[in-house]
């Protein structure tokens, strides 16, 4: 194996090892809703859902299994949702990838 192929292989392994987005997989969370939005509660911390259509069929207080990723800015359906001006402390936006 020449140096070029070896460097390429090392680079490929590093890219696979350090994913660009932090993903959480198959976590058990509780659906929380109030006038400020929809949240998923994990270990006492709330994460605001950006793509509301993924959680719309689940009721308040439902326990669900979910895969999500944290995002810096919401560009989904929650971005334009009408909400009240009350503070709901949260850990930031998430995008739900899979929910059961």
pLDDT digits (tens, 9 = 90+) for 21-38: 555 578 999 999 999 999
Average pLDDT, the chain: 89
**pLDDT recorded at residue 18:** 63
Q: What pLDDT digit, counting tens, does each position of 47-62 carry?
A: 999 999 999 999 999 9
3-class SS shares of the chain: helix, strand, coil, % to 5: 20, 40, 40
Is the whole model's pTM more than 0.85, yes or no?
Answer: no
Round to whole Å and give the CA distance between 93 and 52: 11
Query: How far is the C-alpha of 22 from the C-alpha of 44, rounded, in Å?
Result: 19
């Amino acid at each position: 194996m020449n140096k070029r192929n070896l460097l390429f292989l090392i680079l490929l392994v590093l890219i696979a090892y350090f994913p660009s987005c932090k993903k959480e997989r198959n976590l058990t969370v509780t659906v929380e809703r109030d006038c400020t939005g929809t949240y998923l509660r994990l270990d006492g911390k709330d994460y605001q859902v950006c793509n509301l259509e993924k959680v719309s069929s689940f009721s308040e207080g439902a326990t669900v299994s979910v895969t999500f990723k944290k995002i810096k800015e919401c560009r989904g359906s929650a971005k334009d949702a009408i909400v009240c001006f009350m503070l709901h402390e949260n850990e930031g936006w998430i995008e739900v990838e899979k929910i059961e």
